Structure 1
Amino acid sequence: MIACQRDGAVWTARITRPDKANSLTRDMLETLAGFAEDAAGAAQVLILTGEGRVFSAGADLEQAREGLATDPVWERLSGAVAAFPGLSIAALNGTLAGGAFGMALACDLRIAVPSARFFYPVMKLGFLPQPSDPGRLVTLVGPARARLILMAGARLDAPEALAFGLIDRITEDLETTLAELTADAAAADPAHVAAIKRMTC
């Protein structure tokens, strides 16, 4: 349910559970985390994307009730993405919800299709967000807008998410935009990519 592609300098992980809104099981999260960890030192570009009309609805509901919603594997995944020394991109093929925010927030860039929606209903569901998510969200959108999303349960459309700074670009054609955004980093020396990444942290 995670399709992993290693294409030279560009590694892509695709969530392939569209019949379940790409909701994430523990095994899927471990696969994503391991893929991101392996990409460090082996790739210059890391892409996370999904299949269908939803990037991910977050945790699989059955497993969430069994404890997945607060499992440390979410932090392992977002930490691995954040630690990746190259360019990381969340290519949001559709809606981003719940715990799936973590891996997207940890990426360097977030691009989305016009139909994407964004919501993180931890207040409604009675869970705390993953520990690193609020800080990363505040860095991107500011404290008030972070509270709007996490505490007031706001649902953003793509233009509003772009205006907030939650995403960096809206595109009708993810594949073409990805090719344009990754070309320079994919062709560069890995040490050069890592150096520029460090300078912008």
Structure 2
Amino acid sequence: MSQGTPVVFVVDDDISVRESLELLIGSAGWRPETFASAEQFLNCPPALVPNCLILDINLPNLSGLDLQRHLSVGRPDMPIIFVTGYADVPMSVKAMKAGAVEFLTKPFGDEELLAAVQSALEWSKTALAAGSELHELRGRHASLSRREQEVMALVVSGLLNKQVGFELGISEITVKAHRGQAMRKMRARSLADLVNMAARLSGAH
């Protein structure tokens, strides 16, 4: 399988479940990675390709919900499909509220699981792409000089060039020069584009 093959992680303490899911996932063209406990899974490095987690809610020691809490901090972009042998509605609601993408009760059909995995991987692919774009945007912003960053911040807040100059104690012509440089380095096609970029950068902190 290629390096870009999506990874489907499975955490389930039942070896027969792990083995059957490993075969099913592999037959669908994805790369399965199985673990018998939440602790084992936490020791594995994050995947850099689209991925998701099939997680048994009833695990010894660290439960599925405990692991979900851990991942919400360390790997918030990982979609989780919960599976359980018990039709526990309150637990299901809790898992979904905490961000699980699906909750399946054993025994579930192969097609039902594969559809859930396909949907989760599409979600992961989108999240990875957005993360990559944000990383690039941060790099562009870091390439601005301190003065260009100051001018950009004031311009996107709605101030006119003259007002920006007054705030920073520089001439309007100097403001225009810095503004032009900031637009070029950020690769903004318009002021609206620059405002949108600034909003994405501030929303990501």
TM-score by length of 1: 0.34
Relative contact order, CA 8 A, sep 6+: which one is greater? 1
Bigger fraction of residues in strand = 1
Bigger fraction of residues in helix = 2
